[in-house]
Amino acid sequence: MVTSVLLTGAAGRVGSAILGGLGQDYDWRLIDREPPTGKDNHQSDHEYVVADITDKDAIREAMEDVDVVIHLAGDPRPEAGWDSVITNNIDGTHTVFEAAIDAGVEKVIFASSNHVVGHYETERKPDIYRTSSDFQLDGTELPRPSNRYGISKATGEIIGRFFHDEYDIGVVCLRIGNLTKDHPPIDYERGQAMWLSYRDCAHLFDCCITSDVDYEIIYGISDNDRKYYSIDRAHEVLGYDPQDNSADYTD
């Protein structure tokens, strides 16, 4: 049974959604290069390590007695430059996986992104964002990154594939859509199609923590009418049962 979870990038938005929903359910160790913000993002009840994920010694130490790692830390900006994504997203992810293997961690849940496959939209937009389109990606397609950030997240998925195949660690790559609090993005069809609510986000990560997995690529969105990412795999493998739908707010 999973009891101890290490959460990298804990001070950010996704970390806040996870801790807000699951803060009482596991023994958390939080890592971020920024100190706790003191805002209402649920960090204060848990052990908190201020460290950069590229610091191998610090990450190795933080990995002790951990069952599962949720790896969120990185540069989340679609417009991020090459130097930043090389350091924070690619090198940092490799460091986290390596330390997880050395510590005997059971599973790593990696925050991947819709931007791994952003160029599938290029020849299909704006129809792809609308309910009249039945086109869906399901995670078996090859990456078509929309930017250098997307390249770095596709690389993170490949890093996870290597460590799974080489060492048999469980890996879930969650291609997260667009997480916003309280309501979906306004006047933004793409964002509404890939909306992930805070409560569905927490539920999805909980499903990842508790499920037996080998290597999975899963789309992380709510049950939006407009969706062009299939959530069938998330339902089948993880038991994901989302409660929210951007159509309830926007259409």
Ligand X SMILES: O=C1O[C@H](COP(=O)(O)O)[C@@H](O)[C@H](O)[C@H]1O
Ligand Y SMILES: NC(=O)C1=CN([C@@H]2O[C@H](COP(=O)(O)OP(=O)(O)OC[C@H]3O[C@@H](n4cnc5c(N)ncnc54)[C@H](O)[C@@H]3O)[C@@H](O)[C@H]2O)C=CC1
CB-based burial of residue 114 (10 Å sphere; 0-12 exposed, 13-18 middle, 19+ buried)? Answer: buried
Nearest Cα to Cα of residue 53 among 16, 18, 6: 6
Candidates 10-18, 61-69, 121-129, 229-237; binding stretch for ligand Y (CB under 6 A):
10-18
Under the binding rule (CB under 6 A), the answer on residue 232 touching ligand Y is no
Under the binding rule (CB under 6 A), the answer on residue 42 touching ligand X is no
Q: Report 202-221 residues binding ligand Y (CB under 6 A).
A: none
Under the binding rule (CB under 6 A), the answer on residue 118 touching ligand Y is no
Candidates 97-105, 109-117, 163-171, 242-250; binding stretch for ligand X (CB under 6 A):
109-117
CB-based burial of residue 17 (10 Å sphere; 0-12 exposed, 13-18 middle, 19+ buried)? Answer: buried
- Give the Cα separation of 56 and 58 in Å (integer): 6
- Give the Cα separation of 78 and 229 in Å (integer): 19
Torsion over CA: 182, 194, 249, 187 (sign): positive
Under the binding rule (CB under 6 A), the answer on residue 178 touching ligand X is yes
Under the binding rule (CB under 6 A), the answer on residue 143 touching ligand Y is no
Q: Select from ligand X, ligand Y, none the partner in contact with residue 78, using the beta carbon and a kind-dependent cut-off of 5 to 8 Å.
A: ligand X
Phi, psi of 25 (to 5 degrees): -95, -15
Active site positions, annotated: 149
Q: Report 40-79 residues binding ligand Y (CB under 6 A).
A: 52-54, 72-76
Q: Select from ligand X, ligand Y, none the partner in contact with residue 190, using the beta carbon and a kind-dependent cut-off of 5 to 8 Å.
A: ligand X
> CB of 149: closest distance to ligand Y in angstroms?
7
